[in-house]
Amino acid sequence: MYKEYSSNGEIALVYAQGLVNLSNKQDAACGGRTVEKLKALYEEYRSNEEIALVYAQGLVNLSAKQDEVGGEHTVDKLKALYEEYSSNEEIALVYAKGLVNLSAKQDAVGGEQTIDKLEALYEGYSSNGEIALEYAKGLVNLSAKQDAVGGEQTIDKLEALYEEYSSNEEIALAYAQGLVNLSAKQDAVGGEHTVGKLEALHGEYRNNEEIAHTYAAGLFNLSIEQDEAGRESTVGKLKALHEEYRSNEEIALEYAKGKVNLAEEMMAMGEDISAIIAELEDIYSRFPNGLIEELIGLLNEE
């Protein structure tokens, strides 16, 4: 139909939207061929910003499936589109999403360069909460690749975003995820400070189970670095979280891992761990998770 009515911009737009939907379901190789068809449409209807936006969306879909090298090439095309339609905020948002996809595949050095571009976009559209959220997601991706020092600087940026968009729960969740990434790289002192921020976030968003899970993950990370007394206190907080969110499997798993840390220390001191094994078996009866089963098996072997 498109070929028969190729001069009709509305039909071309519908065809482009169908191609985008297709690209979302394809792998990188097939998606690349579909995006080439979108590119041809975009070049034929250069003055049609709706088709340009759809082409951009196809590029984002493709960037999510590609490796780092392919993603860089695709994001360059997104950048060119963004520069051509610099007054189109929707295309700016799609470009931001492509940068986030790329940042997930890069190391810390490449990620920092990509985040600089995201930061520039965010500053250019500082009133756009959706672009701010993409910037936050990119910062989370970067924090996962950095050491503690670099991670602290990135978390400072996430904290500033969270404070600016204090009513945006998705940005609050991204901030929490960044804090978890940082806590995994810190010693007990630094970890306690970071987990304190996670605890405050959890208190503010009590009904958000994803934030509750990040708090649990941070507590587990902290427990690894602590001495016996500190670990017991931290696992006690994990227990309270588990009891508050009793139907949440992810929180149950963090609690189970914390209990295993405690059990290993108790075994080293010759103490009985049968009560911990029984508790883990109770958790497994409610959540037949393979990792929980492995943890029980590990303790039974020892």
Dump pLDDT digits (tens) for 175-233: 999 999 999 999 999 999 999 999 999 999 999 999 999 999 999 999 999 998 999 99
Q: Which two tokens stand for residue 157?
A: 């940026």
Structural domain containing residue 74: 1-105
User: Considering 105, 121, 138, which residue would you say is the last residue of a domain?
Assistant: 105
Residues 42 and 51: their CA atoms lie apart, in Å, by 6
The share of the chain scoring above pLDDT 70, in percent, equals 97
The predicted structure's pLDDT at residue 216: 98
Residues 6+ positions from 34 with CB-CB distance below 8 Å: 19, 22, 23, 26, 58
The predicted structure's pLDDT at residue 115: 98
Give me the sign of the Cα torsion angle 54, 60, 168, 90: negative
The predicted structure's pLDDT at residue 266: 87
Contact indicator for 79, 59 with CB cutoff of 8 Å: no
Confidence of residue 1 (pLDDT cuts 50, 70, 90): very low
- pLDDT digits 0-9 by tens, 60-112: 999 999 999 999 999 999 999 999 998 999 999 999 999 999 999 999 999 99
Contact indicator for 263, 235 with CB cutoff of 8 Å: no
The answer to whether position 65 is within a domain reads yes
Confidence of residue 7 (pLDDT cuts 50, 70, 90): low
The answer to whether position 231 is within a domain reads no
**What does pLDDT average to over the chain?**
94
The answer to whether position 174 is within a domain reads no
The answer to whether position 137 is within a domain reads no
The answer to whether position 110 is within a domain reads no
User: Considering 64, 79, 105, which residue would you say is the last residue of a domain?
Assistant: 105
- Environment class of residue 148 by beta-carbon count within 10 Å: exposed (0-12), middle (13-18) or buried (19+)? middle
Give which of 58, 54, 11 is closest to 30, Cα–Cα: 58
Lowest mean per-residue pLDDT among 1-15, 137-151, 161-175, 203-217: 1-15
Give which of 188, 184, 199 is closest to 148, Cα–Cα: 184
Q: Which two tokens stand for residue 37?
A: 């068809």
The answer to whether position 290 is within a domain reads yes
- pLDDT digits 0-9 by tens, 249-300: 999 999 999 999 999 888 888 899 999 999 999 999 999 989 889 989 888 8
Give which of 101, 99, 102, 105 is closest to 119, Cα–Cα: 99
Residues 151 and 40: their CA atoms lie apart, in Å, by 42
Number of structural domains the chain divides into: 2
Lowest mean per-residue pLDDT among 7-11, 92-96, 185-189, 242-246: 7-11
Total-model pTM: 0.92
The answer to whether position 33 is within a domain reads yes
How far is residue 113 from each of residues 19, 74, 107, 129, 181, measured CA to CA in Å?
31, 16, 10, 22, 19
User: Considering 105, 126, 145, which residue would you say is the last residue of a domain?
Assistant: 105
The answer to whether position 226 is within a domain reads no
For residue 23, pLDDT over 90 is answered with yes
